[in-house]
Amino acid sequence: MKSRILVIEDNEANRELLGDWLESEGFEVVYAENLEQSCAAFDTNLPHAVLLDVQLGREDGLLFAKWMRQRQSFRDIPILAVTAHAMTTDQERVIKAGCDACICKPVDFKLLSNELRHRLKNTTG
């Protein structure tokens, strides 16, 4: 069974780049462009992990991480923030909001692969 990754990204080019890479790595990919679509994705395609853009247009992606962590059934799903905000204070804010890791843009795909495989191994088997 393929691990399902929810990619929450408002920028179409970034969404496609992440999705294409994930699919080439053997993951199933579900997409969301905003917070509303992100919540809806949990009703239809419960993911094994989430890649979360921190800045979704005018929406704060970290609100989604907080939403997930407040729900018992979603608390163990890994959230990897993907962000252009690379300062230490930004990364601390990401972790405090409930994300398991912070991947800076431009994405280092080797780092992302290692993080995903590590997090999924710890939650799915």
Domain architecture of the chain: domains with CATH? 4-124 (3.40.50.2300)
Q: What is the pLDDT of residues 29-47, one digit of tens each?
A: 999 999 999 999 998 889 9
- Per-residue pLDDT, 125: 46
Residue 117 Rama label (left phi>0; alpha psi -120 to 50; beta): alpha
In terms of DSSP bridges, do strands 28-32 and 4-8 run parallel, antiparallel, or are they unpaired? parallel
- How does the average pLDDT of the chain come out, rounded? 92
pLDDT band at residue 20 using 50, 70 and 90 as cut-offs: very high
Cβ neighbours for 13, distance < 8 A, ≥ 6 positions apart: none
Mean pLDDT along residues 63-86:
92
Tell whether pTM > 0.85.
Answer: yes
